[in-house]
Structure 1
Amino acid sequence: MFGFLKKLLGLPDGVSPQDAQAMVKTGSALILDVRTSAERQAAHIPGSLHLSLDELGRNAGKLPKDKTIICQCASGMRSAAAAKQLAAQGFTTLNLKGGLGGWQRAGLPTK
């Protein structure tokens, strides 16, 4: 039932931290950190790009359309909004399940 509601509301599909890392390693995806600059300075996923959610609308054209964009925030809420926004502009997007917290709980590296 949740899948139906997710589709109805237009929410992006979620991807596990492990699957996201594998996609990035193969070159088929990139991780886009949509948190604030201060949040990113505290910790971030190595190799991720940064565009805060507030900057996304003005700068989405700088992102590649030939890769899946995995949106990431602290917990997954802002990144879901970012993924939905980018998908409406023709990007292929996923939302990182659990955000940076989920990434860290999975034992994956941060800087």
Structure 2
Amino acid sequence: MKQLTAKEVETLLNEGKTLNIIDVREVDEVAAGKIPGAVNIPLGLIEFRMHELDKSKEYVMVCRSGGRSGSASQFLEGQGFKVINMVGGMLAWEGDVE
């Protein structure tokens, strides 16, 4: 499984890179703040909403600490998606939130 640190993701965004970020936290967690532009698909719904994702794109998976996003990454990889897990999750995120 590919991984990036929160700092690496922040640097890529600050350089103007377009990242497809999926936040797999629950709705109430995301309400407290998420990475700007991230799409919220709670981990429990990934299996039912993966049809919304494009297998030709690469996705950065995010959660609170990196555990749930790791699970989501493994599942989606098994379904043929290109994914990167953001290790450390939002606990390690120092960038802007919306």
TM-score computed with the length of structure 1 as normaliser: 0.79
Gaps of 5+ in 2: none
Counterpart-to-counterpart distance in 2, 1:38 and 1:23: 25
Tell me what 1:30 maps to: 20
Map of 2:3 onto structure 1: 14
Q: How far off is 1:26 after superposition?
A: 2.1
* Higher CA-based Rg: 1
Compute the TM-score of the two structures, normalised by the length of structure 2. Answer: 0.88
Q: Which runs of 5+ in 1 are unaligned?
A: 1-11
Residue 14 of structure 1 aligns to which amino acid in structure 2? Q
Does the alignment pair 1:43 with 2:43? Answer: no
How many residue pairs align between the two structures?
A: 96
Higher strand share: 2
Two-structure CA RMSD over aligned residues (Å): 1.6
Distance in 1 (alpha carbons) for counterparts of 2:37 and 2:13: 13
Distance in 2, matches of 1:49 and 1:41, equals: 12
